[in-house]
A and B are shown apart, each in its own frame.
Chain A
């Protein structure tokens, strides 16, 4: 479990994090979402005890300021940059990180085998292709079996195949009851992975909840676009508007043969019934679900303006 209370952090005179408090329960997967420079990496570094901060952070009940090494023993941190020593071989890289944590040679061998790196074990990492380096990096990360995982923009350097592998790995770890805090600026990382989302902007939390709540908070609505056979006359327009308002629609627009309706997902059926009742001949219709991207932009822009 990670408990953060009144955390604030300054680099020189610049304040990076403002009085944050939150909890990540045991076995919970939390996505820390925010644009670049929001303070996500700094927050993770505070949890690891790599930087000085004001406030309190406890990991599994231990104070980060006092028990840094013990806490880091229970955390696997995956930074956004490569973590490989270019002059060392694949095996030496794995062995080095394994030795630091007291992991056996047997585990290293298994990891090489599992990652299909046997043929490259004696190659220096600078001689490896990008894909192999990514594979080695994931192998290093999966060497450790810690109860807490901290990911800092984990997919920013990965190719598509590795992103999918990574997501599978996170899901697997989550199933095994690991506590996961994942920072990202990519909304695609949220899908499938997270239970809880924290949106951060300019060092402040602008949202803390699940992704559905995020959509609700920003009041994002489902958009229905209907293409009608002929342009509508004023009388029909008034009739449609009336029927739609009765169906609970507050926002609609009619331009040429296009009728665009914004509504909550639960009202889609009654909206379609109202359209049918108005006797419109529909050529085509499209339903756009509210996107997290829009919600994210709305919520971060809102906090920028404050």
Chain B
């Protein structure tokens, strides 16, 4: 691409900056962040702790639990925020005006993706960080190792990026905010709950079919992220069938690459789809 067609990094950054500011000043975003923090701490534990019936130190396997929760709950917040990003601009009329500026549609999508990813990651880091704060220095954290812990956090952001890409695609194709939110919630529910229960039966029937297991894991980005997270934090003593399959099939060390690569693919495909769809639509 040359001249007029070149993607402008500065336009992307301007849009990303606007998205961050817009998100941080959005009351709903702050409410969701607080909910995220509370859910990550797990409300039952909080209540028990408030009544003095349970101590924070006794929360079992904090890092693993917190990070695993962060993936599914962070996914929920991400799909809500992401699915509204384009469609709400369309409804409030800012999209037409933005498109009349010297920016390209691809710059808008990437700018929004980057801005929202940073804003959500920041919110999740704060929520997760506060939840983890009292654990600093605990033996459990030290046993995981800093490298694995960082990898785990990066995986959490990777899962966020996937869900953001999917929700952006939803936002592009949706005709209204209600439609976008409904679709986004369904997708989240599908990946976190329906998929597991639906495919559990399939797995039992196809117990010896390794290929089915393979698809089961790789066709669900939440599953990929959770498997990766579990492998990082507690690879051996894990009752998770998918983790066991990955260890048997690829080995512990050999599982990280395909799983990480799968997350990357899951980020790219919805993003590319969003760009193509955004170009094909007229606003």
Q: Report whether A100 and B283 are in contact in the complex, using a CB–CB cutoff of 8 Å.
A: no
Which residues of chain B are within 8 angstroms of A77 by Cβ–Cβ distance? 97, 100
Selected contact of A83 from candidates B14, B93, B282, B283, CB within 8 Å: B93
Q: Report whether B103 and A69 are in contact in the complex, using a CB–CB cutoff of 8 Å.
A: yes
- Chain B residue with minimal CB distance to A74? B102
B249 to chain A, nearest CB (A): 47
B171 to chain A, nearest CB (A): 16
Q: Report whether A88 and B22 are in contact in the complex, using a CB–CB cutoff of 8 Å.
A: yes
Q: Report whether A88 and B21 are in contact in the complex, using a CB–CB cutoff of 8 Å.
A: yes
**Complex A-B: 19 CB contacts under 8 Å:** A11-B282, A45-B282, A48-B100, A50-B100, A50-B283, A67-B4, A72-B100, A75-B100, A81-B92, A81-B93, A81-B96, A82-B94, A83-B97, A88-B21, A92-B18, A97-B101, A100-B14, A100-B103, A124-B25
Q: Report whether B22 and A82 are in contact in the complex, using a CB–CB cutoff of 8 Å.
A: no
User: Which chain B residues (241-283) contact chain A, with CB distance < 8 Å?
Assistant: 282-283
A179 to B93: give the CA distance in the assembly, Å. Answer: 24
Q: Report whether A100 and B11 are in contact in the complex, using a CB–CB cutoff of 8 Å.
A: yes
Selected contact of B22 from candidates A45, A87, A101, CB within 8 Å: A87
Q: Report whether B100 and A69 are in contact in the complex, using a CB–CB cutoff of 8 Å.
A: no
* Cβ of B62 under 8 Å from chain A: no
Which residues of chain A are within 8 angstroms of B11 by Cβ–Cβ distance? 100
Number of A-B contacts (CB under 8 A): 72
User: Which chain B residues (89-129) contact chain A, with CB distance < 8 Å?
Assistant: 92-94, 96-104
* Cβ of B143 under 8 Å from chain A: no
A96 to B103: give the CA distance in the assembly, Å. Answer: 12
Query: Binary interface profile of A, 182-226, with partner B (CB < 8 Å = 1, else 0)?
Result: 000000000000000000000000000000000000000000000
Q: A52-B282, A69-B4 are in contact. Are A92 and B100 (CB under 8 A)?
A: no
A84 to B18: give the CA distance in the assembly, Å. Answer: 12
A223 to B102: give the CA distance in the assembly, Å. Answer: 51
* Cβ of B26 under 8 Å from chain A: yes
Q: Report whether A85 and B22 are in contact in the complex, using a CB–CB cutoff of 8 Å.
A: yes
Interface size on A, residues (CB 8 A): 33
- Chain A residue with minimal CB distance to B5? A69
Which residues of chain A are within 8 angstroms of B104 by Cβ–Cβ distance? 69
Selected contact of B102 from candidates A66, A72, A79, A85, CB within 8 Å: A72
Q: Report whether A87 and B25 are in contact in the complex, using a CB–CB cutoff of 8 Å.
A: yes
Which residues of chain B are within 8 angstroms of A66 by Cβ–Cβ distance? 4
* Cβ of A26 under 8 Å from chain B: no
* Cβ of A35 under 8 Å from chain B: no
Q: A69-B4, A69-B102, A97-B101 are in contact. Are A79 and B22 (CB under 8 A)?
A: no
A67 to B5: give the CA distance in the assembly, Å. Answer: 8
* Cβ of A6 under 8 Å from chain B: no
Q: A82-B93, A83-B93 are in contact. Are A100 and B101 (CB under 8 A)?
A: yes
Query: Binary interface profile of B, 2-35, with partner A (CB < 8 Å = 1, else 0)?
Result: 0011000001001000100110011000000000
* Cβ of A147 under 8 Å from chain B: no
* Cβ of A73 under 8 Å from chain B: yes
Query: Binary interface profile of A, 117-155, with partner B (CB < 8 Å = 1, else 0)?
Result: 000000010000000000000000000000000000000
A104 to chain B, nearest CB (A): 14
Q: Report whether B97 and A79 are in contact in the complex, using a CB–CB cutoff of 8 Å.
A: yes
Q: A68-B4, A85-B18 are in contact. Are A101 and B92 (CB under 8 A)?
A: no
Which residues of chain A are within 8 angstroms of B283 by Cβ–Cβ distance? 50
Which residues of chain A are within 8 angstroms of B98 by Cβ–Cβ distance? 100
Selected contact of A101 from candidates B5, B97, B102, CB within 8 Å: B102
* Cβ of A99 under 8 Å from chain B: yes
User: Which chain B residues (68-99) contact chain A, with CB distance < 8 Å?
Assistant: 92-94, 96-99
B210 to chain A, nearest CB (A): 47
Which residues of chain A are within 8 angstroms of B94 by Cβ–Cβ distance? 82-85
Which residues of chain A are within 8 angstroms of B103 by Cβ–Cβ distance? 69, 100
Q: Report whether B97 and A96 are in contact in the complex, using a CB–CB cutoff of 8 Å.
A: no
Q: A85-B22, A88-B21, A100-B11 are in contact. Are A70 and B96 (CB under 8 A)?
A: no
